C-alpha cells in the first residue's frame, strides 16, 4: 500500500483492524484504473469544468481564491477546460447583508481580469463566477446558500443541462450561464492544490471505456464503471522548520483516513469501489441520475461518502492532489466534530425503513437501497467516531480494578491506540530503494521514529478531549435527528475557524474543558478503588492530564515561523 497521510486523531483504528487492512493491501496491492492518454489536450467531447465551491468572506480571501484559480489553469493542459468559482455569501439573519455587493464586485472583477489575461475556450469564457442568492432555511433559522456545498453542485449540474430556475444570480448584469456541452465536473476545495497534469489524467481515466458508468434502472444507481473518481489526497507538509508541532506531526505520511487522506485501501483493492471525500471528478449526467430524489432538503451535512456509494466512486491512487493541513489543534478539532455529526446524520440511510420514525420515512424517498459495502462504510465511520469514547470508558473501567490488573489493562488499551501510528514505522525498518546508504537510511529511520513517538504522545494527550468531542457530536446529532430536526446543516469551515484569534493557554482550557472534566472523573474513580498504593499511583497518572493539557496547547499554538495567511473558506 502506498504510504499516505492520516489524520490519526480521527482514525485511531484498533489493532486487528489496522493489521487486517495493512495485510490486505500488502497482499493485493493498489488497483490502478485504465486511462486514455489525451496527449493532445482535452477535446470538446470531454469538456470539463473545474469547480471550486467557496464563500465570499473578505476581499483578501477572494483575491487569494482568484489567484489560486489561475494557478489551477496554469497547471492544466490546453483544451476544453473551464474554471468556475461557485460562491455563496456567508449565513445571515436577512436575505441581503451589508457588504454583500462589494464582495461580489471584487469576485466579478477578479474573474473578468482572468478572462482578459487568458482568453476564452471554444465554448465561451474560460473563467466563470456562479454566485447564488441566499434562501431561508427554517431548520437553521437564517438565510444561507441552499443546501450549502451539495446544493451548489446540484444546481451547477442543472444549470449545465439548461435549467433556468436555479438560485444563481446575474453578476454585472449578465445572467448565469455555462456551456451545456460540459461532460465532467472536477470539484475541489478552496485550499486544494493541483499538481501539473492532474486534470488531464483524471479526465483520461473517466473517459476510458472500461470506466464509463452504467446505471441499473431498478436500483437507480451505478452498478458498473464509475460516475465519480477520487484522487489521492496528501497534506501540504511544512517546509523546513515551519508550522506548529501539531502540524508537523500529524501531516506526516502514514496510515488510512477516510476524509483527510484518500488512498489505496481494502475497499478499492478488493471491491473496486473507493470512498469519495469531496475532491474528485464526476460524470454530470450519471452522477445527477444516481442521486436524484435521494436526499430531502436540510437533512444531510456530510454528503460526499453518500454520493460516492450511489455513483460508485473509484479511487485513482496514482493521481494526487494536495490540501492544507490545520496548524492548530482547535481548528482540527472543529472539523472532527463536523465530520462526526455528518457521519451520524447518515443514520437514516443505514437503517431499515421500518426502524425510522414516521417523519423520516416520509422525508426519505424509497428509491432503492445502497449496496451492502456502501452501508458498511457508513457504519465503519460510526465505529471510528466511537473509538475515543470507548477507549476512555475502557481506561476508567480498568482503573477501578486492583493495581496489577489495572496496569496490565491500561498498557493494553494504550497499545491499541498507538499501534496504528507504529505500523508504518515497522514497514520502513528495511530500506526499499536500491542504492540507499545504510547511514542515510538509519538517519531517516531515526527521524521518523522520533516523529512517531511524539505523535503517539500527542494522541494520548488529546484522547480525553477527543472522547468528549465525539460524544458531544454524537449526542447532538441524535437529538437533532430524532427530536428537534434543527441545525442539521450547522457548518463552520476550517478557514473561518483559522481566521479567528489564536487561543492562549486559558483559552485552550476553556475550549477543551471536557478533558479536565473526564480527568476529575478518573481521579475520583482512582481514589475510590483499590489499595492505598494503587490509589496514589492511579492519582498520579490521572493528575498528569492537567500538565498534558498545557503541553497540548503549546504544541498546537507554537510555530517555528510566521504562518501563511488563511485560505478562503473551502466549501459552504
Q: How far is CA 123 from CA 32, 39, 69, in A?
A: 33, 21, 19
Q: How far apart are CA 243 and CA 14, in angstroms?
A: 29
pLDDT of residue 8: 42
Which pLDDT belongs to residue 156? 97
* DSSP H or E segment with residue 281: strand 280-283
Q: What is the mean pLDDT of each run of 10 residues along the chain (572 residues)?
A: 41 56 68 90 95 95 95 90 96 95 97 95 94 96 95 97 95 91 96 92 96 92 95 76 71 45 67 91 97 90 94 92 84 90 92 78 69 90 92 87 85 87 75 74 81 86 90 95 90 64 67 76 72 58 57 56 43 42
Per the CB < 8 A criterion, the answer to whether 60 and 103 are in contact is no
Write the CA distances from 384 to 89, 347, 389, 474, 514, integer angstroms.
33, 14, 10, 12, 20
pTM > 0.75: yes
| pLDDT for the residue numbered 436 | 73
pLDDT in the model for residue 426: 73
Cell reading at 554: 503549546
pLDDT at 444: 79
Tell me, rounded to whole angstroms, the distance of Cα 173 from its chain centroid: 36
How buried is 243 (Cβ within 10 angstroms: 0-12 exposed, 13-18 middle, 19+ buried)? buried
pLDDT at 471: 95
pLDDT score recorded for residue 443: 83
Q: What pLDDT, on the 0 to 100 scale, is given for residue 539? A: 65
pLDDT in the model for residue 543: 58
All cell numbers assigned to 352: 431499515
Query: What's residue 429's pLDDT?
Result: 76
Other C-beta atoms within 10 Å of 426: how many?
A: 11
CA nearest neighbour of 491 among 156, 236, 137, 153: 137
Q: Quick count: other Cβ atoms within 10 Å of Cβ 233?
A: 23
Amino acid at each position: 500500500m502506498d504510504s499516505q497521510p492520516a489524520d490519526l486523531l480521527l482514525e485511531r483504528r484498533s489493532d486487528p483492524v489496522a493489521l487486517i487492512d495493512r495485510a490486505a493491501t500488502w497482499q493485493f496491492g493498489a488497483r490502478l484504473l485504465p486511462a486514455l492518454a489525451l496527449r493532445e489536450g482535452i477535446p470538446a467531447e470531454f469538456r470539463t469544468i473545474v469547480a471550486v465551491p467557496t464563500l465570499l468572506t473578505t476581499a483578501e480571501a477572494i483575491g487569494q481564491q482568484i489567484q489560486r484559480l489561475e494557478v489551477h489553469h496554469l497547471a492544466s493542459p490546453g483544451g476544453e477546460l473551464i474554471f468556475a468559482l461557485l460562491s455563496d455569501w456567508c449565513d445571515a439573519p436577512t436575505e441581503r447583508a451589508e457588504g454583500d455587493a462589494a464582495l461580489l464586485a471584487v469576485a466579478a472583477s477578479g474573474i473578468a481580469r482572468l478572462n482578459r489575461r487568458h482568453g476564452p475556450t471554444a465554448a465561451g469564457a474560460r473563467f466563470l463566477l456562479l454566485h447564488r442568492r441566499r434562501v431561508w432555511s427554517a431548520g437553521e433559522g437564517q438565510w444561507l446558500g441552499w443546501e450549502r456545498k451539495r446544493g451548489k453542485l446540484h444546481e451547477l449540474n442543472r444549470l449545465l443541462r439548461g435549467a433556468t430556475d436555479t438560485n444563481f444570480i446575474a453578476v454585472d448584469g449578465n445572467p448565469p450561464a455555462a456551456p451545456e456541452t460540459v461532460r465532467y465536473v472536477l470539484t475541489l476545495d478552496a485550499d486544494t492544490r493541483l499538481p501539473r497534469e492532474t486534470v488531464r489524467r483524471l479526465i483520461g481515466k473517466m473517459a476510458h471505456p472500461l470506466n464509463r458508468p452504467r446505471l441499473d434502472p431498478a436500483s437507480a444507481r451505478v452498478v458498473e464503471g464509475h460516475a465519480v473518481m477520487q484522487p489521492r489526497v496528501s497534506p501540504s507538509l511544512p517546509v523546513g522548520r515551519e508550522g506548529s508541532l501539531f502540524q508537523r506531526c500529524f501531516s506526516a505520511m502514514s496510515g488510512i483516513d477516510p476524509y483527510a487522506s484518500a488512498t489505496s485501501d481494502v475497499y478499492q483493492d478488493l471491491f473496486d469501489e473507493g470512498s469519495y471525500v469531496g475532491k474528485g471528478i464526476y460524470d454530470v449526467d450519471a452522477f445527477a441520475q444516481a442521486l436524484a430524489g435521494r436526499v430531502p432538503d436540510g437533512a444531510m451535512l456530510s454528503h460526499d461518502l453518500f454520493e460516492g456509494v450511489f455513483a460508485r466512486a473509484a479511487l485513482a491512487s496514482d493521481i494526487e492532489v494536495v490540501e492544507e493541513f490545520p496548524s492548530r489543534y482547535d481548528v482540527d478539532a472543529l472539523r472532527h466534530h463536523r465530520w462526526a455529526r455528518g457521519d451520524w446524520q447518515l443514520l437514516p440511510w443505514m437503517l431499515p425503513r421500518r426502524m425510522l420514525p414516521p417523519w423520516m420515512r416520509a422525508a426519505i424517498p424509497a428509491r432503492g437501497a445502497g449496496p451492502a459495502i456502501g452501508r458498511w462504510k457508513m457504519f465503519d465511520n460510526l465505529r471510528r467516531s466511537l473509538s475515543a469514547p470507548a477507549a476512555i470508558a475502557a481506561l476508567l473501567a480498568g482503573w477501578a480494578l486492583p493495581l496489577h490488573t489495572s496496569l496490565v489493562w491500561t498498557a493494553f488499551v494504550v497499545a491499541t491506540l498507538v499501534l496504528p501510528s507504529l505500523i508504518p514505522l515497522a514497514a520502513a525498518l528495511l530500506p526499499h530503494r536500491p542504492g540507499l546508504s545504510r547511514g542515510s537510511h538509519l538517519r531517516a529511520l531515526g527521524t521518523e521514529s522520533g516523529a512517531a513517538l511524539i505523535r503517539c504522545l500527542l494522541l494520548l494527550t488529546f484522547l480525553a478531549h477527543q472522547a468528549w468531542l465525539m460524544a458531544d457530536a454524537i449526542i447532538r446529532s441524535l437529538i437533532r435527528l430524532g427530536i428537534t430536526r434543527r441545525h442539521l446543516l450547522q457548518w463552520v469551515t476550517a478557514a473561518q475557524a483559522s481566521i479567528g484569534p489564536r487561543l492562549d493557554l486559558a483559552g485552550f482550557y476553556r475550549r477543551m474543558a471536557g478533558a479536565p472534566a473526564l480527568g476529575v472523573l478518573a481521579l475520583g474513580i482512582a481514589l475510590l478503588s483499590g489499595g492505598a498504593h494503587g490509589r496514589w499511583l492511579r492519582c498520579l497518572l490521572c493528575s498528569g492530564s492537567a500538565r498534558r493539557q498545557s503541553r497540548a496547547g503549546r504544541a498546537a499554538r507554537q510555530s517555528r515561523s510566521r504562518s501563511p495567511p488563511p485560505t478562503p473558506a473551502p466549501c459552504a
